Structure 1
Amino acid sequence: MERTDPERAPEPGKGSGAAGAPGAAEAPGTVGAPARQQAARGLGSFSYTAADEEKLRGVRRMKATATGLLLLVAVVFALATWAKNSGAGSWAGYVAAAAEAGMVGALADWFAVTALFRRPLGLPIPHTAIIANKKDQLGASLGAFVGENFLSADVVRSRLRALGIGRRLGTWLAEPAHADRVTAELSTALRGALTVLRDSDVQAVVGEAITRRADAVEIAPGIGKTLDKVVADGAHHRAVDLICVRAHDWLVEHGDSVMDAVQGGAPGWTPRFVDRRIGDRVYKELLRFITEMRDMPSHPARGAIDRFLRDFATDLQSDTDTRARVERLKSELLARPEVQDIIASAWSSVRAMIMSAAEDDRSELRLRARASLLSLGARLSTDERLQGKLDGWIEEAAAYVVATYRGEITSLISDTVAGWDAADTSKKIEAHIGRDLQFIRINGTVVGALAGLLIYTVSHALGG
């Protein structure tokens, strides 16, 4: 098939259209050229396939039928005219009139159909080869038509509202098999996402986020409020009990260490037996003190601890110097490599836990997800208020997408059509609709003949 400029129509006989000149046939072996142009132009052109070639053969058969019918009425017209002139009778005039009108109708419809794809007989007649010459305008008009009639926010809303997506989704999700399927798909997607993510990147992001968040928030007032509530509820008493028990046990096991420490701190001029007596006395008093604190909930030392904690909780909330010291301590702790390593390694633990749960069909994560989907489906299928809320979200989201990106969607249509080769476009469209267009020629022949017969009959009756 010879290639033409998009602004020029293919010459008759060089194209493969079904509506070419009567009796015109396409030259064989023309499928490779569109394929080569397709490779050269990328995705901007139609891909002419073997299926299109098969359709084009059907178009040729229908074109031959329409052309044959035209030749038939031409022969009938010639014979009827000869019979009329030879005095065969009045019937010859009726037949000649019908055949003549049939020829006119066939030729007129042949011209109209042919003008869609090429210039009839190659003549530069205005407003012919419409698809080849007006391809870009047709693409722009198609894009505008789609944008105005299909990508309107009101149209999208009304269509989605009629679908009842919320109720349908609820009914579908309420089926256990469907909930199992969605759960499996979500698990697969989750595993895929975790596999794609690089641990080093996520750890860096998590560490930075935690550090930045901790730096931005002052923790002293929160600690003070928590400590104040703990002391008020007496929740710290167990911690004091534990400390007292452990201190008592330690003193019992390490009495010699305590006495050695006391003796080691004594002046050098004191006698050693005096140092031992003093060390033994200090140890016994310390052990007695700890034992009384352990066994007496109302011990004065416990009360002193309570007062200290209450005062410290107040200072954490209101004392500027205490709050500043806590903030400095927080910053120092966050800056330590050990703390940063703990923060970074948290992601690895979380990732491993999620991956294991996503892979296990009976894991708590998947069972809860399935139960949640079933519960959501049951509610959506019966709760009209929830259905309306979900439908409203979907409608608003779709309307926003349409209103925001309608220009891009319609330009996709017009730009795609503009990228098609004019000759290839005409050929492929003709392969798809050319067979039906040939019926226009056949109908034009029949209707023209009937109209001509009617007109001749009426005029003959009125004149004679």
Structure 2
Amino acid sequence: MHEQEQAVQLRKTRGLATGLLVAMAFLFLVSRSLMPRYPYLSFVAAFAEAAMVGALADWFAVTALFRHPLGVPIPHTAIIPRNKDRIADSLSNFLEHNFITQEIIRAEMRPIDFAGAAAAWLSQPENSKAISRQIVRSVPTLLRVIEDEDVRQFMHGRLTSALAHAKFAPMVAEVLSVLVASNRHQALFNQLIEVAARALEHNKDYIRWKIHENSPRWLPKAIDEKFYHRLLDAVESTLNEMREEDSEWRLRFSNMAEDFIEQLRTSPVYEEKLDTMISEVLGHPITRDYMLHIWRDIKTRLEADIASPDSHIAARLDQGFRSFGNELLGDARVQRKLNQWIRIFATETIVARREMIADLVVRVIRKWDADTMSRKLELHVGKDLQYIRINGTLVGGLVGLVLHAISRFL
């Protein structure tokens, strides 16, 4: 509720309580003045007198919480302003140990279906489209940041630093070991054989010409042809032998691959050579120019697509979000796991920071002056406290009436 609204309601209830006190005082004066003529008005006077006492006592009690009654510094009044810091500490401690606990937060979060609500929201076309367009609209800003010279220098520095400390040889060795373990290196061997076979097939005329070109002039051409055919037969026979699953060539290739992997893992020479090669390639002006050209091309395409009302990126994002929402909506098992993870994460995060949250309450209250503290609390609870004054007036009057009746009939 807005503070202005709270102030209006507080003024109304305070006026009602004060008006009731004034009414009791008027009733007391009238009844006391008419008692000689109408003795039964003593009961009304007793009710009004006791009601005034109750109203004044409760007015004093309520007022003493927030300020000195009538501005008189009576001891044990203006309780809230005088104890502002102690109240802040107590409130912080109460909040930390009675609200921000594992049990309470977990119990409060248990009925909430985070994953289901998110999935239902994403599955709605207007929502998935809205979030997709919002992401797409943020891309130009991101591109402008990346184009900034300071950012570019920072990223280049971080990349250079990362490359300087990176160990490429062990990484390459791990990748190659996975390929060897799954027998993928034999597929590479097959590809190499086929490349050699195609090269031989496409260059037969050239091989024949080179043989004729380099043979002695006195040697008959028939011998050149015979040598050419024998050479082709030998090469083709060797390639066919290589194609066999259990050929010695394959075994040699496997041993060579395993030896190369081991050298990559253990040899500092291989590590140095690979690092040098990668650094030279990445640092070469041609590479930098090529990467810059690729980046500019990508940026131009992105900007053109984003500016289009029929953006393919936005459409793909929209479709992806909606598909994810629909699939998640239909998978209760995944929803349960996500909800459990969210609850655990949220609970641990909040509880781990409960001291920080409680300290925030203390810091904010300590920054308030005494009048601000009193005003804020009075706006929030003052309306109910004014009803205590009203109840005290009525209850006090009834008690006075009962006591007067008892004294009359004894």
- Distance 1:353-1:150 versus aligned 2 partners, 3 A rule: farther
Query: Partner of 2:191: helix, strand, or coil?
Result: coil
Which residue type is aligned with residue 107 of structure 2?
A: S
Which residue does the alignment assign to 1:217?
A: 171
Q: Distance in 1 between matches of 2:341 and 2:298?
A: 33
In terms of fraction of residues, the more helix-rich structure is 2
Total equivalences in the alignment: 390
Which residue does the alignment assign to 2:256?
A: 315
Q: Distance in 1 between matches of 2:46 and 2:297?
A: 90
2:66 paired with 1:121: no
Which residue type is aligned with residue 93 of structure 2?
A: A
2:199 paired with 1:243: yes
Structure 1, 387-396 or 365-374: larger mean CA deviation: 365-374
Query: Partner of 2:75: helix, strand, or coil?
Result: coil
The correspondence for 1:292, drawn from 198, 218, 232, is 232
Structure 1, 160-169 or 204-213: larger mean CA deviation: 204-213
Which residue does the alignment assign to 2:44?
A: 95
Q: Distance in 2 between matches of 1:333 and 1:309?
A: 29
Structure 1, 390-399 or 188-197: larger mean CA deviation: 188-197
2:386 paired with 1:438: yes
Which residue type is aligned with residue 195 of structure 2?
A: A
Correspondence list, 1:42-191, <5 A: 56=7, 59=10, 63-84=14-35, 87-188=36-137
Which residue type is aligned with residue 243 of structure 1?
A: A
The superposition leaves residues 104-146 of structure 1 with CA deviations (integer Å, 9 ceiling, x where unpaired) of 0110111011112111133333332122112222222322333
- Distance 1:321-1:432 versus aligned 2 partners, 3 A rule: closer
Which residue type is aligned with residue 460 of structure 1?
A: R
Displacement, 1:156? 1.8
The superposition leaves residues 260-297 of structure 1 with CA deviations (integer Å, 9 ceiling, x where unpaired) of xx7xxxxxxxxxxxx9838998xx6799479937xx87
**TM-score (structure 1 length as normaliser):** 0.68
Which residue does the alignment assign to 1:267?
A: none
Query: Partner of 2:117: helix, strand, or coil?
Result: helix
Displacement, 1:199? 3.7
2:376 paired with 1:419: no
Which residue does the alignment assign to 1:391?
A: 339
The runs of 5 or more residues in structure 2 that have no matched partner are: none
Q: Is the 8 A contact 1:157 1:399 kept in 2?
A: yes
Q: Distance in 2 between matches of 1:166 and 1:328?
A: 50
The superposition leaves residues 145-185 of structure 1 with CA deviations (integer Å, 9 ceiling, x where unpaired) of 33234322222222222122222222222223222233333
Displacement, 1:62? 5.2
Q: Distance in 1 between matches of 2:351 and 2:386?
A: 41
Displacement, 1:210? 5.7
Q: Distance in 2 between matches of 1:195 and 1:367?
A: 23
2:332 paired with 1:405: no
The runs of 5 or more residues in structure 1 that have no matched partner are: 1-50, 263-274
Q: Is the 8 A contact 2:51 2:395 kept in 1?
A: yes
The superposition leaves residues 303-327 of structure 1 with CA deviations (integer Å, 9 ceiling, x where unpaired) of 5899677635523423799765755
CA RMSD of aligned residues (A): 4.4
Q: Is the 8 A contact 1:206 1:347 kept in 2?
A: no
Amino-acid identity (%): 26
Displacement, 1:331? 3.2
Q: Distance in 2 between matches of 1:430 and 1:220?
A: 70
Query: Partner of 1:102: helix, strand, or coil?
Result: helix
Which residue type is aligned with residue 328 of structure 2?
A: L
Displacement, 1:399? 1.1
Displacement, 1:80? 2.5
Which residue does the alignment assign to 1:455?
A: 403
Which residue does the alignment assign to 1:230?
A: 187
Q: Distance in 2 between matches of 1:286 and 1:52?
A: 108
Displacement, 1:188? 4.2
- Distance 1:140-1:78 versus aligned 2 partners, 3 A rule: same
**TM-score (structure 2 length as normaliser):** 0.75
